[in-house]
């Protein structure tokens, strides 16, 4: 069954697999690594543009390591899960400092680097280095759970261990790079989460989920719990030159390392303005909206405050800036900031 699985998968890949994605060209450990990090919890169609812009700005790991965190986060803006970008930057610097700029090909050394898990390490080794290493990303979990009838939520350790055992057993010794691409492709194009195209699947005859008519049950889903709701006010403080006050968020925590609007309660607005030596001339609430994270909803009320004069931010210069919408700085912005700026531009149109 092990050899039969890989043989059928590779035959399908030779005919129907995707071979023209940007990270499948000029394959290197660096390009595979960046693409794998970007593809975590993000669709291929979304990643393509980000990957191409990232590679254009940082074609080598040396250039990524030399960049500032703000530059990296700026190119990541809108892709979400920003810890991925911060870890990417840290790992680039670590590889330059500790491995003379060369990716380690040892699984244990790779997984010890920030943001690189077992599956990402396996992809780097198998796709870019031709070594035998298994992967188990979301697409592969779904394929294996359905093909082999592995019940339960893959986030549970016993279920994950079973899937890893199968993945290790199935990974061939030849064409391992193509096999790795193929099994990811199968999950992304045919064995999709909803409405899988089973009739075109090379595993149709042996797939347990198809035989038992339990495709919708596999893989198992995490028990849903009520998502808590939090709320905040974001202060859109605009000076007389049309610039907006932004502050850099702490590296750890929500939107770590990105630039966002100051957050406070309306009752504390005067104190914030006084701290920046600003005198308000007008204030209005912009349409509130909800931003949803994995574990909670955040209800945001933007409060737009115009000041009568310009001012330099008072405080640490690397923590507070005036952001010019007409000549924007190359920094990483939180998603609510980009959304609110787009809304403001819409209101300014004649």
Q: How far apart are the first and last CA of the chain?
A: 66
Strands 259-260 and 243-248: antiparallel
pLDDT at 349: 47
List CB contacts of 260: < 8 A, sequence separation 6 or more: 234, 246, 247, 249, 333, 334, 336, 337
Q: Catalytic: 36? A: yes
Distance CA 17, CA 183 (A): 9
**pLDDT tens readout for residues 67-115:** 999 999 999 998 988 999 999 999 999 999 999 999 998 999 999 999 9
Q: Cβ of 97: how many Cβ atoms within 10 Å?
A: 10
Triad 124, 125, 126: Cα angle to 5°: 95
Nearest to 236 by CA among 275, 269, 279, 274: 269
Choosing from 36, 71, 238, 243, the catalytic residue is 36
pLDDT of 281: 64
pLDDT of 313 reads: 62
- Please give the torsion angle defined by the CA atoms of residues 220, 293, 123 and 125, in that order, rounded to the nearest 10 degrees: -130
Model pLDDT, residue 258: 94
Cis peptide preceding 179, ω within 30 of 0: no
Q: Where are the domains of the chain?
A: 2-217, 229-348
The class level of CATH for 2-217 reads mainly alpha
Distance between CA atoms of residues 156 and 301, nearest Å: 37
DSSP notation for 267-336: GGHHHHHHHTT--EEEEEEPPPEEEE-SS-EEEEEEEEEEESS--PPPS-TTTEEEEESSS--S--B-HH
Segment holding 160, helix H or strand E? helix 157-170
Give the residue from 173, 127, 140, 133 showing the smallest Cα distance to 25: 127
User: Which residues of the chain carry a pLDDT beneath 50?
Assistant: 349-350
Helix (H) or strand (E) holding 112: none
> How many C-beta neighbours within 10 Å does residue 226 have?
5
Q: What's the pLDDT score for residue 148? A: 96
Q: In sequence order, what are the residues at sequence separation of 6 or more whose Cβ sits closer than 8 angstroms to the Cβ of residue 227?
A: 292, 295, 296, 297
Q: Are 21 and 120 in contact (CB under 8 A)?
A: no
pLDDT confidence of residue 200: 96
d(CA 73, CA 176): 33
Q: What pLDDT, on the 0 to 100 scale, is given for residue 90? A: 97
C-alpha–C-alpha distance, residues 81 and 76, integer Å: 9
- For domain 229-348, the CATH class is alpha beta
CB 272, CB 235: distance < 8 Å: yes
């Amino acid at each position: 069954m092990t050899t039969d699985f890989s043989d059928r998968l590779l035959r399908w890949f030779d005919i129907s697999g995707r071979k023209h994605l940007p990270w499948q060209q000029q394959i290197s450990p660096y390009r595979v690594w960046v693409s794998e990090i970007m593809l975590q919890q993000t669709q291929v169609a979304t990643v393509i543009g980000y990957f191409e812009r990232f590679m254009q700005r940082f074609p080598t790991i040396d250039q990524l390591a030399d960049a500032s965190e703000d530059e990296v986060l700026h190119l990541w803006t809108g892709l979400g899960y920003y810890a991925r970008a911060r870890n990417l930057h840290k790992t680039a610097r670590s590889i330059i400092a500790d491995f003379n700029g060369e990716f380690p090909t040892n699984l244990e050394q790779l997984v010890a680097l920030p943001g690189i898990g077992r599956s990402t390490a396996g992809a780097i080794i198998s796709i870019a280095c031709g070594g035998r290493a298994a992967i188990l990303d979301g697409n592969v979990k779904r394929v294996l759970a359905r093909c082999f009838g592995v019940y339960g939520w893959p986030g549970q350790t016993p279920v994950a261990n079973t899937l890893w055992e199968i993945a290790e057993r199935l990974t061939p010794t030849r064409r391992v790079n193509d096999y790795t691409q193929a099994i990811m492709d199968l999950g992304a194009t045919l064995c999709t989460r909803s409405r899988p195209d089973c009739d075109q699947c090379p595993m149709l005859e042996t797939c347990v989920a198809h035989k038992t008519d339990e495709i919708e049950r596999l893989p198992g889903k995490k028990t849903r719990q009520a998502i808590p709701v939090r709320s905040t006010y974001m202060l859109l403080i605009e000076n007389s030159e049309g610039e907006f006050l932004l502050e850099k968020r702490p590296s750890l925590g929500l939107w770590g390392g990105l630039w966002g609007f100051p957050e406070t309660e309306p009752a504390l607005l005067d104190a914030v303005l006084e701290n920046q030596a600003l005198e308000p001339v007008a204030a209005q609430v912009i349409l509130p909206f909800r931003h949803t994270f994995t574990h909670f909803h955040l209800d945001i009320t933007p409060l737009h405050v115009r000041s009568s004069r310009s001012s330099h931010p008072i405080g640490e210069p690397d923590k507070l800036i005036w952001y010019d919408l007409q000549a924007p700085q190359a920094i990483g912005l939180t998603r609510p900031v980009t959304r609110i700026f787009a809304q403001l531009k819409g209101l300014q149109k004649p």
